[in-house]
Structure formats: structure tokens, C-alpha cells
Amino acid sequence: MSLTRSEPPLAGAPVEVRDGALVEAHGGALVEVRDLTWRPFGRREPVLSGVSLRIEPGSRVLLAGPSGAGKSTLLRALAGVLTTTESGDFSGSVLIDGAPPAGSSVGLMMQDPDDALVAGRAGRDVAFGPESFGMPRDEIWSRVRTALASVGFPYDEDRPTNALSGGETQRLALAGVLALTPRLVLLDEPTSMLDPSSAAIVREAITSAVRASGATLVMVEHELSAVVRGVDRLVVLDPDGRVSADGPVGATLETSSELLVAQGVWVPGVPAPRPLEVDRALCAPAATRSAGVSVSPGDQVLVSAESVSVTRQPRASVMSAKRHLPAVQALVDVCATVSAGECVAVVGPSGAGKSTLTALMAGVDTPTLGQVRAGAALLAGSGTDVPEVIHGWTSRALAARFGWVPQQAEHVVVARTVREDVLSTSRLLGLDDEAMQARVDGLLKVLGLSALAGADPHHLSGGEMRRLALAGAIAHGPSVLVLDEPSVGQDRLTWSAVAGVVVAARDAGVGVVLATHDPLLIALADRLITLSAGRVVDPEAGPSPSPRASALSTVGAATSQGGRWAGLAGRSGPLSVLLASVVLIFGAAFISDLRTALIAVGIQIALAPVVLGVGRPPWFRLLPGLFAVLSVGFSNWLLSPGHELSTGVLAGLRVAFFVLPGVMLAARIDPSTLGDHLGQRLRLPARPVVAAVAALHRFESLGEQWDQLVRIRRVRGLGPGRSPRARGHHLAALTFGLLIQTLRQAGRMAVAMEARGFSAAATATVTAPVGAPARRRTWAESARWLLADSLMLALGLAVAGIPLLLSRF
Amino acid sequence: MTDQPTTGNPAPPAQTPQTPKTTRPTILASGSLMTWRGVDLITAAMLAVAFGVMFWGFDTFIYPILSTATAGFPPAGELMLGVWLIPAVVGALVIRRPGAALFTELVAANVELFLGNKWGVAVLLSGVLQGLGVELALALFRHRRFGVVVAVLGGVLAAVFEIVFYEWYSYVADYSMAWKAIYLACGMVSGAAIAGVGGWALVRGLARTGALNAFPPGQEIRESHPV
């Protein structure tokens, strides 16, 4: 992990950017923090206490300390977004260039790149900040281009943001921060969610872009070795939120290295931690503990994936006007096995298919082609009711043999307290409770969670949550333990505990599968499976092809209309299409006799090719609407006073008059474009519109989180039974889990968006950003009302008026 | 973005001194009720989209089964109406500002619209009416009460608005008056039970997990047990 260093341009000198334009380096801000203390409501102890710092313009500061020391909180205070999601007691002052942090002079980049995404296309995403500060359209786009070039973004402005890797998304987020030419750049663990090679590229982009701008940099990072060479000062916070060391990087590291190591901080030059000695009995499989299972020593294979391929068909998309998203080939013809008592590490770059393969090996995912089979060693003693092919297993059968910790370990909460959570699967499996409780307490102790045993799991930090998930996955004694990035977010001390559990489980005869980027964990593995672009590669065979491009190779391109007439709706903006559909609802109320209904619907069918274009009707979209028409017709016939057939037909046609065109026209509306039109043409308040569009972009990722919750409950033995009551309970638990994730994510999004000026136009005290006066939000893309829009609306009104007209004659 | 971190909550208002100590004080949204914070808007929109994900599952997998089961007696189908009213109630109880119910329900309706659904653009009209029903309930209590009674009233009024101002003219226009009344009653029961009690319980549960700490319901929990 070496940083390639490029010669920095002199601060204050003009900087040449890629497209040839010259921009003034805008220099760095002076940061003065005086006696800053912050105690959020509901906590007894302050998170920051008496922090004083003076950071000279243009300096680059690394902020370190154990987890929970208030590093992120201090960054939020510097960005002026401390109170976005929290309220509490604040004292002291934060001054940026002598003024409170406000406006576009401060940029904040967060840990998870997805939290910063607000738009469907790269350029529009970067434009968010300039739009918020009301910059004119020309300037918005010139800033977007400059910012994208400065981070080395490899695609053009139209690149869909959901087709980016984690590292690319993080560079996009950096561009979004730099587009406001901030004089103070704040980075909160910007590479912790990335694999080593993506992380190196992002770090390089940060170093060169921030140097070029001359901005002051404050960066939080717990993996100090990766970043110490890019900074010139180190500030260490202690667990009580005080500054415990401050000075030039080299000297400060020397003096406080021992203390930092004791607090668990990853310090460069200090030998790697060793796995903790963990009692094997805590991790032994239940199968061997309960009965002496007789399996021939030569046949120890527990799980084998046989030529598995996985093709993912994205869930229905809200955001794309063409709603057929191409399928993605996640895994191609992969064979993998894990045997009892071995630890297999699945390695490879991000997007190579590690998570997909490990989910298959854990029995929680189903391959598109090929099979995942249980070996004799895994089936031994289980009777004949469990089939060899794993994905047909019941939740209970799966839970008895598998433990799985997904990458998003924060989803794994299945009970009200930490202890209950770890015990829950054992209880469902009817395992001996007393022995089990001792085992659970032992595991909690090893993983440093004893003090939290009675706490609500939702209150744990990210690293604690991951250890809880590990405890819950191993406590009931599975024979196979599958862990996806188990060491992310762990400090030196907790890393030892996690690695200790992995080693103990392996030594106790569990088959362990790890997906990981962590070189220290990889070193513990007995065997490696190296994936690249969804295929197994021989690590000796030299450099693998570019992973992302081929991993995302699409199967079956999106259906395209070609040059065919896309209808009036295809040429109109979203607003006229929407209005035309809405007026039909009111027109329908005037349909009071069968003749009117037949004529009105007949005219609509005749007009359909003009409005919607020619081609086969998309029955899959129309089907629910047709079903609605039939059910309305039936129920009105049944419950009308006279029970006449014509009444039912009339009721059905009345609904068909507005439902079917509405269904077809809604398919033509792109939500982002609709947002632009609502804001510019209807002059709706900008913030609600922008918030709604940003949230709609999360539909797919929320859908994936739902799927993940379903998998976790299944492997923990909590899959629904057949009874409606169990299913209802299951759905309620999933709903609750998804809402918690949603709320957390909304909070992080709010911080990221506020840091880019989301509420700038709504707040009176905004200072004018460089080059633009503070005023109303502007829009990067225009929303013109075209002739086609007028025609569309006129046609809608004319058709809606037919029933009224006919009822007069 | 000001440097004046406001203490989120002014003194709990509308509490008479005689209030028994067992009831927690109601915490109102910070600042002026009409001035939405950024996090209010983003959270309401994200909640709406999460409900949209669930509606999608409900519409695709569950509703067809239930509606087939109730085909013999269509008004019974209206006993499911409450499911679609939950976003309005939850949005209102979490954000506690005028417009929260309307905004949340309308964004959730948009998710259904863009995914494709059986009622087409009409879901937007439904979303507006349902949101307004809950808004009326909160306005009747001057945005000062957010307990189960208000939630139930909100669920009921949302159902009434949806049925009386829309469904009576569209889906059930030719029912006899008696059947229309039964249909309305079914919707009201569902609104009260699923959206009212259900939505209220959901918000309470979420507040307990700490996920609502940025909002008044979470602050109420925190004030009673500081950590």
C-alpha cells in the first residue's frame, strides 16, 4: 500500500486542469477551535471535551484515536453540521477563517461513498453543491467538469451512478466536495470501505486534488500507516474526547505510539497483532459435541459449489425510464469447496464476486446455474429429510449447520439484548440451554461484549455490531462458518479477538470461509480462492484483467425502441404527461352510461398509437390494471342495487378510462426529470423535491437491504414457517429491520447533503460562496415546456372532456 | 448551517402543571414548526421509499392472494386499506411538522407510480387524500399531541378522505348506499387498526432502538433514560 507521490504544485499558484482552463488555486482556510465541548442529549459524558486546535492554512492534519474518541464528531463540528442529526450542549467556538463554518468554504466527505449519492448520473451528482448555492448553469457545469477531472474520474458526466464501483463512487463523492472549491476539506475515513487497490487510487486522488487546490485538509483514518506520508501533522484524541497528542507526524508518532497501540490504533512500524488464544470449545461444532459422528477421515468436505454461476436480474427500477435493467453476471462457472477444520479465504478485487460466492457457500443464495451440495460430513447424523442440494433447505436445517456474517453486519439484529441475540439461534434449535449460556457468555467475553450483554444491539457501534454478528453466527455450533469481511472496522485489540475466534473455530473442526481484503487475515488461511471478474483465477498466472468492466458484463442489452415513433408521450416532458393522466381521473367521474363509456374508451384505444407510439403493448405492466378493471366491474355488479350486468361493465369501463392510460403514461416519466420540472416549472419548494428525488434513487439499494435481511433471518433459523401468523411476524420483523437501516442511512445522507449546502438557500445566515451570491437553488438542467407538452395537455383535456360532452347530448 | 447548535427542544409546551408524572412530556419539533430541517425532509422521503419497497412486495406477492380470498365479498378487501396509510401516520408521528404526513404519503405513492401499479396515476390522488386525512387529525390537536389517539384518528380520517372523496366516485360508484357505508366502515376499521395503532407502535419501537434520536419521539425516550 504505497502512495505514489506526485510533486505538489506550489500553493497559491494557478493550477492547470485537464480541459485546459486555468483556475485559481483558492488556498486553504485557517481553522481555530477553542475549548470545544459537546455533549449530545441523552449522554452523560461529553463526546468532545475542551478541544482546542489551531490549524494553519494549507496544512494537512491527520486525526487519530481509538474508536469512540469523537473524531467524526470533531469533523462534523468543523463542517458546521454537528446539529444536523443531533442536539445537545455545545460550548466553545469553531472558526474557519475567523467566521463560523458555513457556506461552501468547508467540504466534508464521509466513510460510506453511498451516503453521498444524490443523483442518477455522475455529472448531476457533482452539480448538487453548486446547485444548492444557486450558481448559474454555465458555472455549475464548468465546476462539475473541473472537479471530475481533478479526481481522475474515469467516465463522462452521463455515467449512471449505480454502475460505479465503491472506489469510483468515493472519487465521485470527492468531486462533489471539490466542486464547491472548499478552503477546508474534511475527510472521514474515506477509504475504510474500499479494497486496498481502490483505496490507494482514492488516496492518490485526494492527495493530488487537495494539494492542487491548496486547501487545508483534516482527515480521520484509523489505519495510520496508509496515510501518514500524505499529511504533515498528527492530532490524537483520547477516549474521553480530549486532545492527547499534537505535532508533526513523525515526532508525535514516536512519542505516542505506545499509548496508541494500547488503545488499539493501527500504528505504522508496530508488529501486527496476533490472534487471541481462544478456547476451542467455545467454537466447536454442535454435531461433534453432541454425538461422536463417524465420518471417514478422507471425506471431510462439508460444502462444495459445483460449477456455479450467478446472474443477477435487478429488481424493478424506479429511476430508469427504460425499466428493463440489464442482468449482471456476478459469478461464472466457479468450483469451490470447504472441508472440516480448514480455513479458506476468498480474495480478489471489489466486484469480483467474493460476497456472492460466500453467500452461496453459506446456503443463503441460490445459483443460477450449477449446485451447491452438502458433503457427507455435513449431512452425517441428520437423517434422510435433508437433501444434498443446499438451497432447498429449511431455515432450521440451514441454521443447524451454518453460521454467516454478511458484509453489512449491522443488519444482523434478531433480539432485544446482545445476549438474547447471540442465544436466539441455539434456542430455536432446542440446544441444551445451560451449556449454551456458558458458551455464549464465553464468546461475549472473548469478543469484548460482556459489558454490553444487556444492551439493545441497535445501540452498538459498527465494530461492536460486527463482533456481535460473529458471536451469533458461531454460538450455536455450526459446522460451517462463513464470514464476509469480518475484520472491517476493528482496532488492533478487537482484531485479535475476531482472528482468535476464526482460528479456534478452524482448530475445533469447523470449515471456515472468509471473504476478505485484510492481508493479516489472509495470512491465517490454509487455502486461497482468488476471484477476478466472477471467475476463479490462478494467483500465479499474472495480473488479472480489469475486474469491474467484465464483472459487470451485461447479459442481454436493454430493450431499445430504435428509431420507431415513441408517441407524443415520448416527446413530452414529465409534467404534461402527468397532468394529462390526472385530468382523466376527473373526466371519469362524468361517465354515467354505457354508451358514453364505450365511446370514451374507444377513442382512447384509437389514440393510443399516437400518444404511446407503435409496438406491442407491455402486458406485464397492463396486467395489474386489467385485473383492477375486472375486479371493480365484478364487485359493482355484485353489490349494486339491481345486480345488472351493464352496471358492472359500466363500472369497469369507468375505471379503465383513467387507470389504463395512467399506467401506460406513468411508465414514461423519469423521476429525476419530473423533479426538475416540478422545481422549475411549477416552482414547488426546491428542498422537498430534491429530497424526494434523492430518496427515490435509493429504492434499489433499500430493496437489496430487504433481501439481505431475509437471508440473515433464514440462516439464523428465523425463516417463517407455513402458518400465516408466523409469516406475519416475519414480515413485521423485516419491516422493522428495514426501517431502522433506512433511518440511519437518512441521517448520514442528511449530513452529507447539508455539508454540500442542501439547506443553504433556506438558511438566512449563509455566507456567499466564492463567485456566487447566496440565493435560491438553481437547477443544473433545464426543464422546458415544449410544443409537444402543450399538445399532450390539450389532448388530455380533450379526452377527459369527452364524457362531459357526451352526457350533454 | 449556522454555528449556533440549537438545543433541539424548547421547554415542553402545552403541559399543565397538574399533568401526572407518569406521562412523559410531549416533545415538539425544534424551531418553528413550519421550518423543516434538512434531516426532516430527507428522513421523511427515505421512510416513504422504504415503505415503497414494502408496498412493492405487498402488491406483488401478498395483495393478489388476499384480494382473491376476498373476491366473494369485496368490501372485506378494504380491510387492507390501512397498509397503504401507514407512511402518512409514521411520517407525521416522527417529524411532527405540518405537511409531514402529506409529504411522506405522496413520495410513497410516487414509488408505486414509477414501479407500475394497478391504479396508474390515481395513486397520486390517493396519496394526497390520505395524507390530508392524517394532516387534519394532527391539526385538530394543534400539532401538540402525537399519541395513539391521534394516530388512530389520523388513520380513520385518511381512510374517510380516500373513500368518500375518491373511491365512492371511482371504484365503488355503483354500489348501493348501504354497501358503500359498509365499504367505508371496513376502510375506517383498517385505518384505525393497521395505520393508527400499527403506525404508532412502529414509531415507538423505532424510537426505542435509538434510530429516531434526531426526532422528537427518540428524544422523548432519551430524556427518560440517559445513557
Pairing of strands A184-188, A106-109: parallel
Among A628, A654, A658, whose Cβ lies nearest the Cβ of B118?
A: A628
Range of the domain at A222: 15-262
Q: How far apart are CA B54 and CA B45, in angstroms?
A: 14
Domain presence at residue A798: no
Residue from B30, B53, B125 whose CB has the most chain A CBs within 10 Å, to mutate: B53
pLDDT at A383: 59
Q: Are residues A356 and A237 in the same domain?
A: no
Res B13 pLDDT > 70: no
Q: Are residues A258 and A394 in the same domain?
A: no
Res B98 pLDDT > 90: yes
pLDDT at A765: 42
- CA A347 to centroid of chain Cα atoms: 21
pLDDT at A507: 94
Q: How far apart are CA A85 and CA B41, in angstroms?
A: 12
pLDDT 10s digits, A378-400: 887 665 567 888 888 889 889 99
Minimal C-alpha gap between B78 and chain A (Å): 12
Decide: A639 and B167 in contact? Cβ < 8 Å. Answer: no
Q: How far apart are CA A210 and CA A94, in angstroms?
A: 22
Q: What is the rounded average pLDDT of the residues A708-728?
A: 86
pLDDT at A763: 60
Residues 101-130 of A with CB under 8 A from B: 101-103
Among A632, A706, A736, whose Cβ lies nearest the Cβ of B205?
A: A736
Most confident of the ranges A638-642, A720-724, A755-759: A755-759
For A109, phi and psi rounded to 5 degrees? -115, 135
Asked if B117 and A691 come within 8 Å (Cβ–Cβ), the reply is no
Structural domain tally of chain A? 2
Q: What is the rounded average pLDDT of the residues A573-596?
A: 92
Res A446 pLDDT > 50: yes
Cβ of B120 under 8 Å from any chain A Cβ?
Answer: yes
Considering A515, A540, A565, which residue would you say is the last residue of a domain? A540
Q: Between B68 and A712, where is the model more confident?
A: A712
Domain presence at residue A72: yes
Q: Are residues A256 and A348 in the same domain?
A: no
Domain presence at residue A738: no
The candidate with the shortest Cα–Cα distance to A380, out of A276, A285, A266, A262, is A285
Average pLDDT, chain A: 84
Using pLDDT thresholds of 50, 70 and 90, give the confidence band for residue B174. confident
Q: Are residues A365 and A251 in the same domain?
A: no
Q: What is the rounded average pLDDT of the residues A736-747?
A: 92
Residue with cell 441444551: A432
B52 CB neighbours in chain A (<8 A) are: 318, 699
Sign for the CA dihedral angle at B194, B195, B200, B206 comes to: positive
pLDDT at B226: 55
Q: Are residues A367 and A460 in the same domain?
A: yes
According to CATH, what is the number of the domain B38-63+73-224? Answer: 1.10.1760
Considering A540, A574, A593, which residue would you say is the last residue of a domain? A540
pLDDT at A10: 36
Q: Are residues A249 and A305 in the same domain?
A: no
pLDDT at A560: 42
pLDDT at A298: 54
pLDDT 10s digits, A651-705: 999 999 999 998 888 888 888 899 999 999 999 999 999 999 999 988 888 888 8
pLDDT at A545: 45
pLDDT 10s digits, A409-429: 777 788 889 999 999 999 888
Domain presence at residue A645: no
Domain presence at residue A107: yes
Here the CATH number for the domain that contains residue A60 is 3.40.50.300
Considering A486, A520, A540, which residue would you say is the last residue of a domain? A540
Most confident of the ranges A205-209, A408-412, A504-508: A504-508
- Residue in chain B nearest A647 by alpha carbon: B174
Using pLDDT thresholds of 50, 70 and 90, give the confidence band for residue A3. very low
Q: Are residues A233 and A309 in the same domain?
A: no
Residues 6 or more apart from B73 whose CB is under 8 A from it? none
pLDDT at B196: 97
Q: How far apart are CA A52 and CA A114, in angstroms?
A: 32
Residues 6 or more apart from B164 whose CB is under 8 A from it? B184
Decide: A47 and A92 in contact? Cβ < 8 Å. Answer: no
The candidate with the shortest Cα–Cα distance to A759, out of A123, A99, A131, is A131
Q: Are residues A219 and A355 in the same domain?
A: no
B46 CB neighbours in chain A (<8 A) are: 695, 698, 742-743, 745-746, 749
pLDDT 10s digits, A581-590: 999 999 998 9
Res A8 pLDDT > 60: no
pLDDT 10s digits, A758-791: 988 766 444 444 544 446 899 999 999 999 999 9
Res A433 pLDDT > 90: no
- Percentage of chain A beyond pLDDT 70 is 88
Decide: A331 and A308 in contact? Cβ < 8 Å. Answer: yes
Helix residue ranges, H only, A51-109 = 71-79
